[in-house]
Amino acid sequence: MLEIIIFTIFIATLLNLFLRQFRIPTIIGYIVTGVIIAYGFSLHSVLHSHELKEIAEFGVVFLMFTIGLEFSINHLKQMKKEVFLYGGLQVFLSASLFSFLAVTIFDIEIKSAIIIGAALALSSTAIVLKLLNESGDINKEYGRKTLGILLFQDIAVIPILLMITIFSIGNQSVSTLLLKTAIDAVILLVGFFLIGKYLLEPFLYKVSKAKSNEIFISSILLIVMGASYIAHLFHFSYSLGAFIAGMMIAETHYRHQVEADLVPFRDLLLGVFFITVGMQLDFTIIIANMGMISMLLPILIIIKIVIIFAILKIGADKRSSLKTAFSLFQLGEFALVIFELSFAKGLVDPVIGQVLIVIVVISMIITPFVLKNITQIVDFFISKKNKNDDCLTIKKERLIDHIILIGYGRLGKNIASLIKKNGTEFIAIESDINTVKEAQKLNEPVIFGNAAQKNILESVNIKEAACVVISIGNSKKLNHICEAVNDLIKEVEDTKIIVKVNKYEEKEALSKLNLSHIVVETEKTAKAMFDEAISC
């Protein structure tokens, strides 16, 4: 098994290095890697192991957690139209139409048709949000609508899974099952709410006081996986528990640091998920049912695009609506879970299920190419003179030409005071949680985080900053921060980097980096004292 893991990493790395030269997303590389591994090592049977599927699903779990970090309860309230109106209409209309077609055209039994229709109504949260985040389009108007609909789709997975249980029950009554689910949902949400309000902040405070990055990361992993497991115990999806956990942490002081720490785990596990998607491509089924697949795939895509566009165009710009429709045309990863579970319970014919799985995977492979060229595709259907949506973005604070202050100790506070007197915008990054809390009580723009991590620096928009001022006493930590800052803005000519060091030897150690000014504390202090002395 070890050689399979090594070979998988080897293929994925080389393949993605090659594909990146042509700006092809890594998602395609992972899916192709899955195909190569499945056929090279005959692992189709291995994929159906419960353990491998759970590991792969945790890629989606961490993605939903980081989405939750961006959506506090107040933020979700602000998006109620996108989530509940647009998302609700999209899922209901798409599921109803697909179920109707399954019954009338393919003569599929009504219970199976309902499950198939509901699964086909879902899109790929994992692919779409990853690509929109990478391109920055998640902040555009169509990105906001896309995200809202995807959030409702993820919530809709719960009743879909419940339907599978209801359709496959023996003696248990449906009313009893629904009542039990409602009680479980109330207990789960109330429990998470109480934990988030009264226990989470004190727990993370104790963890941050330990000043150990390992302990902090392990505590966050505990929260994510613990919340996911608790949700699963109550018969809900792992992803829902992770999403709620993210929303709880979004209400604390630790959001930026948590997001920075979890991104590597999310991307790694998403890679595993897409490899397992590629492993599900069975070319014997594809060849045997090529005609049906070739007919169904474009029909399903067109129907989905038309429904989403029709829902959105009433209250939104046509270009933005069409972009959202093209962003959500594909079938999603949760459909794979639903189909597998359905024919395991005898609700969907295995051959039909395998054909649908192939269609889902092919649509997911097409998605990165569509999203990469979405503006050109929409230009083909709608005149460029109506191109207003590209400028519409979600209203949120975005600093430009600001000063980033790394370190908010005594020196940092004095620098911040001078910056405010000058009327310049700034934001500070501080690793001591008590200092952050005191500053935030005074409405100072200070966030908690480790500035040596590039995700933290990117969260304060470092590439559009006018200046970065670093005043850290720890020499080892200072080197890591300076290297991270230098890597991010070495191509930005206008940004100054000003660093305070304690002695000349530290200045020598940093001289290889592209730093604008290195201020040696002992030299400046000595000169100031000498100037005062000779002026007497």
The model's pLDDT over 267-276, given as tens digits with 9 standing for 90+, comes to 777 788 778 7
Report d(CA 304, CA 237) in Å as an integer.
25
> Are residues 469 and 422 in contact, defined by beta-carbon separation less than 8 angstroms?
no
Q: In this structure, how many other beta carbons lie within 10 angstroms of the beta carbon of residue 161? A: 20
Report d(CA 435, CA 69) in Å as an integer.
22
CATH 3.30.565.10 fits 403-534, yes or no: no
The model's pLDDT over 474-494, given as tens digits with 9 standing for 90+, comes to 777 888 898 888 888 876 667
| pTM tops 0.85 | no
Which letter does DSSP use for residue 462 in this model? Answer: G
CA distances from 408 to 150, 414, 451, 453 (A): 39, 9, 12, 17
Report d(CA 503, CA 24) in Å as an integer.
47
Is residue 536 predicted with pLDDT exceeding 70? no
Domain ranges, ordered by start, for the chain:
2-391, 403-534
- Sheet bearing 517-520, strands edge to edge: 446-448, 426-430, 403-406, 467-470, 496-501, 517-520
Give the residue from 152, 252, 261 showing the smallest Cα distance to 195: 252
Which letter does DSSP use for residue 128 in this model? Answer: H
> Are residues 336 and 270 in contact, defined by beta-carbon separation less than 8 angstroms?
no
- E-strand ranges in 377-484 read 403-406, 426-430, 446-448, 467-470
- pLDDT at res. 517: 86
The model's pLDDT over 72-127, given as tens digits with 9 standing for 90+, comes to 666 667 778 888 899 999 999 999 999 999 999 888 888 889 999 999 999 988 78
Is residue 248 predicted with pLDDT exceeding 50? yes
Encoded amino acid at 453, one letter: Q
- pLDDT at res. 116: 93
Whether 2-391 shares its CATH topology with 403-534 is answered no
CATH 3.40.50.300 fits 2-391, yes or no: no
Give the 3-state secondary structure of residue 260: helix
- pLDDT at res. 374: 92
Burial of 288 (0-12, 13-18, 19+ CB in 10 A): middle
Report d(CA 162, CA 475) in Å as an integer.
56
